[in-house]
Amino acid sequence: MSAPNGPCPCGSGRKYKKCCRVFHYGRLPDHPEQLMRSRYAAYAVGAVDYILSTTHPTSPHFRSDTETWRAEVRRFCQQVTFLSLRVEHAEAAGDSGLVRFFATLKQGERDASFGEESAFVRRDGQWLYVAGKPHPS
């Protein structure tokens, strides 16, 4: 886990404890951008349960076998270094949202960076990640 007084991995410039950590410990994001940033930070700090709990059941990433899914996400978090996040666009209309971003990652010595346009929906007051499609950035 990231040090609470250290910088938040999401790139906001704020301390982790005042930024994404509040979401990792129960506060609900008000906007899809907050959810996207807090999910990126969750991967960076290994907050695996947050990733699982903020994934919509219709997402292609969702797994009904949560123990296997949890182990897969944990392994991914351990194998990847999360270097930076740049949000390029974020919008919400009603219960739908879209966030376009670029994440700079390393997996060992390999550049694993990618751009994505992610779709989010709000269900019962909670924003959830649905799916993403590659977006050149």
Among residues of the chain, what percentage have pLDDT more than 70?
A: 98
- Contact residues for 121 (Cβ-Cβ < 8 A; gap 6+): 56, 95, 96, 97, 127, 128, 130
Please report which helix (H) or strand (E) contains residue 121, including its range. Answer: strand 114-123
Domain covering 16-134: architecture: Roll (3.10)
Among residues of the chain, what percentage have pLDDT more than 90?
A: 95
Predicted TM-score (pTM) of this structure: 0.95
Q: What is the pLDDT of residues 23-60, one digit of tens each?
A: 999 999 999 999 999 999 999 999 999 999 999 999 99
Domain residue spans in the chain? 16-134
